[in-house]
A and B are shown apart, each in its own frame.
Chain A
């Protein structure tokens, strides 16, 4: 997209629409060509609107309606409640709001653990593969397997591993003599950690991929110069690698945050549709509570709140990182 620059802007930046001096022919050609890139973008724009924008607008519209089973076949006729749905959802003394708040905090904890876990593992792997050695290509490919596997296949395998009686994890822990009786991993409090492990496992190759790409942009001479000055690997990491990766990290952390906070497939597949309270992530919570009560207006209101929250966090994050970027 960046390659195609409308010719008019190139010829006379600032006043592209008044090229009075230019010949009639070239003006015609210029105007005609100026539309070409936009024409190429049109199908993408239309699809973008259809696939992303329209559902969001519909969701927002639905959040102001009382849509239950009586209206779902003609939901646009549902009675308007204004902010009624939001009042129910944000009433933290009521059962609906209380459950939502609880799920929100579980999701915050989950995001913090998964984000740091995935970043650390990804960083460690990227560092390990920074220098060329035999078999590096193979390891690189191998590391990307969790990311390349379809979510369902990967998570359902973890589900088998975590089963209490026949799961591999408990078998392994038992063999090592670490446990006396088999703990539960898919229900109860451990469910949170099980979910985190699976999410980290799915996410770290992404961090690895991005960090590895970022490291390749760091010139080798910088490391050579620093080692002549006597810097060890730890100091090199602190003073060279991390600072030079900061712009990559900025984007990486935001993308991973949004991805993790919205994770649907991990809890949905791991817990077979009914997430235990300890692992009740917000996206599954919204899905389940909407289908449990068939109240899609409430579900939409929760989704709109989620969207607002993520938009605000992203905006603050970008503003903050930009400012610190300027300061440095």
Chain B
């Protein structure tokens, strides 16, 4: 009985898991005094194995240059946050790790990461080397960065050129009304069996992080401020309107296959897009690279910025994305700070930035990484979005709770919409008020 109870006694279990999982990795570096450091890389390509194959040769180069051995572990993105929290609680974690840049301030607040002060930044070439937009997502404003940008990306609209042509759509949508109209033209029954088998838009409805990203993008377009200082304003009218717009794609507009409400992983989404079951998807820059694995080239798909509100909402901000990307941080409990910073220097060096970002289809985070490979249409749109139509997610400690609480509520709304009725704005608002209260209950 005790065993069973322990299995769910969350906090204890989380701590124990943290200790158990990481004891074999990070602990060794400080205890034995050898130079091995542990690196947690987040899953960037189609599989953990593919990531290992991409990163291991680079790590070998680093070891050759510096003599510092690196133990690599690739973590699925869905597990990353919980793994980091467990490592933070137990104090036993990796030496160097990847984080989603939107969590920077939240994770900074745990005090688990080494702060990049001037002296430390000088070791990796100084602050001025990094893209100013990317640097904004490295921790709370006014504090030394808790992480450094590694890969930079933005949301974009990918569309299937062949399906657009077949539906007589001459130019890709620039506004949401054009978007819905085009999506309607794409939603049809292609084999006349009485069932719709081609949809305007593909959506990862059950992925809470994907949903939360659109709460932010659409909410901001509707004039929402997610936080007022540190007070959550998830039930702000603009936010409710944004969530309602997102839900309507599945519900009222009927441009999304209701089955997408149970879709958690991106692989299934990309398969639907590549096989022509969905005419458009909203996804981050790296998708351009991944689509190559589904035998899709830029001849098959086009990329445009995320549409704007039409007419523009009073008080709204026309953004197409937040500043997306992956950062690299050094765990405070590292027994090898020197080796860790040298590894970060290596990862952010111009040469590695070109190689890694080229491979992952993202943009380099440093100004001196230049390569013709970054002139693809996908990345041109990303650069354009990051330059003029992107803001960072709020850089405050409570940000990650916005992603989890609002994202989970939205996935639940999507499920309700798919299985029955689309929740109205009043219902959305009351759930968002509850999310506000849940966040504040602990503060």
B8 within 8 Å of A (CB atoms)? yes
- Taking a contact as CB atoms closer than 8 A, the residue among B2, B88, B438 that contacts A52 in the complex is B2
A62 within 8 Å of B (CB atoms)? yes
Inter-chain contact A184/B110, CB cutoff 8 Å: no
Inter-chain contact B437/A69, CB cutoff 8 Å: no
Inter-chain contact A296/B418, CB cutoff 8 Å: no
What distance in Å separates the Cβ of B326 from its nearest Cβ neighbour in chain A?
20
Binary B-proximity of A57-95 (CB < 8 A = 1, otherwise 0): 011001100111110111100000000000010000011
A310 within 8 Å of B (CB atoms)? yes
Which stretch (B11-19, B46-54, B280-288) binds chain A?
A: B11-19
What distance in Å separates the Cβ of B105 from its nearest Cβ neighbour in chain A?
10
What distance in Å separates the Cβ of B430 from its nearest Cβ neighbour in chain A?
10
Inter-chain contact A72/B85, CB cutoff 8 Å: yes
Q: Name B418-440 residues within 8 Å CB distance of A.
A: 418-420, 434-435, 437-439
Inter-chain contact B415/A296, CB cutoff 8 Å: no
A297 within 8 Å of B (CB atoms)? yes
The CA-CA distance from A82 to B339 in the complex, in Å, is 43
Known: A187-B261, A273-B78. A293 touches B401 (CB 8 A): yes
B175 within 8 Å of A (CB atoms)? no
Q: Which residues of A contact B415 (CB under 8 A)?
A: 184, 187-188, 276
What distance in Å separates the Cβ of B138 from its nearest Cβ neighbour in chain A?
17
B206 within 8 Å of A (CB atoms)? yes
Known: A186-B262, A274-B411, A310-B1. A293 touches B439 (CB 8 A): yes
What distance in Å separates the Cβ of B215 from its nearest Cβ neighbour in chain A?
14
The CA-CA distance from A190 to B287 in the complex, in Å, is 33
Known: A55-B13, A69-B109, A164-B259. A293 touches B206 (CB 8 A): no
How many B residues face the partner with a CB closer than 8 A? 60
- In chain A, what residue has the closest Cβ to B86? A72
B219 within 8 Å of A (CB atoms)? no
Inter-chain contact B10/A75, CB cutoff 8 Å: no
Which stretch (A124-132, A224-232, A237-245, A300-308) binds chain B?
A: A300-308
B314 within 8 Å of A (CB atoms)? no
The 6 closest A-B pairs by CB, nearest first: A188-B419, A55-B12, A295-B442, A95-B434, A187-B415, A59-B12
Q: Which residues of A contact B14 (CB under 8 A)?
A: 290, 296
Inter-chain contact A184/B262, CB cutoff 8 Å: yes
- In chain A, what residue has the closest Cβ to B106? A69
Which stretch (A14-22, A199-207, A209-217, A258-266) binds chain B?
A: A258-266
B99 within 8 Å of A (CB atoms)? no
- In chain A, what residue has the closest Cβ to B420? A188
- Taking a contact as CB atoms closer than 8 A, the residue among A68, A165, A291 that contacts B442 in the complex is A68
Q: Which residues of A contact B419 (CB under 8 A)?
A: 184, 187-189
Inter-chain contact A56/B12, CB cutoff 8 Å: yes
Inter-chain contact B10/A72, CB cutoff 8 Å: no
What distance in Å separates the Cβ of A155 from its nearest Cβ neighbour in chain B?
14
The CA-CA distance from A164 to B107 in the complex, in Å, is 37
B380 within 8 Å of A (CB atoms)? no
Inter-chain contact A55/B420, CB cutoff 8 Å: no
Inter-chain contact A94/B437, CB cutoff 8 Å: yes
Q: Which residues of B contact A299 (CB under 8 A)?
A: 10-11
- In chain B, what residue has the closest Cβ to A75? B89
A157 within 8 Å of B (CB atoms)? no
Q: Which residues of A contact B416 (CB under 8 A)?
A: 188
A154 within 8 Å of B (CB atoms)? no
A96 within 8 Å of B (CB atoms)? yes
A-B contact pairs, 21 of them (CB 8 A): A56-B5, A66-B442, A70-B397, A95-B441, A164-B262, A165-B259, A184-B259, A184-B262, A187-B418, A188-B416, A188-B418, A262-B4, A264-B7, A274-B408, A283-B7, A288-B408, A292-B438, A295-B441, A296-B11, A303-B5, A311-B1
B191 within 8 Å of A (CB atoms)? no
A298 within 8 Å of B (CB atoms)? yes
Inter-chain contact A307/B442, CB cutoff 8 Å: no
Starting from the known contacts A274-B408, A293-B442, 5 additional A-B residue pairs (CB-CB under 8 Å) come to: A52-B3, A55-B13, A188-B420, A264-B7, A293-B438
- In chain B, what residue has the closest Cβ to A291? B82
Q: Which residues of B contact A282 (CB under 8 A)?
A: 8
- In chain B, what residue has the closest Cβ to A310? B5
The CA-CA distance from A182 to B195 in the complex, in Å, is 11
The CA-CA distance from A157 to B415 in the complex, in Å, is 21
The CA-CA distance from A239 to B413 in the complex, in Å, is 53
Known: A52-B6, A293-B438. A69 touches B11 (CB 8 A): no
A163 within 8 Å of B (CB atoms)? yes
- In chain A, what residue has the closest Cβ to B272? A165
Q: Which residues of A contact B111 (CB under 8 A)?
A: 70, 73-74
Q: Which residues of A contact B45 (CB under 8 A)?
A: none
Known: A56-B6, A70-B397. A272 touches B442 (CB 8 A): no
What distance in Å separates the Cβ of A65 from its nearest Cβ neighbour in chain B?
10
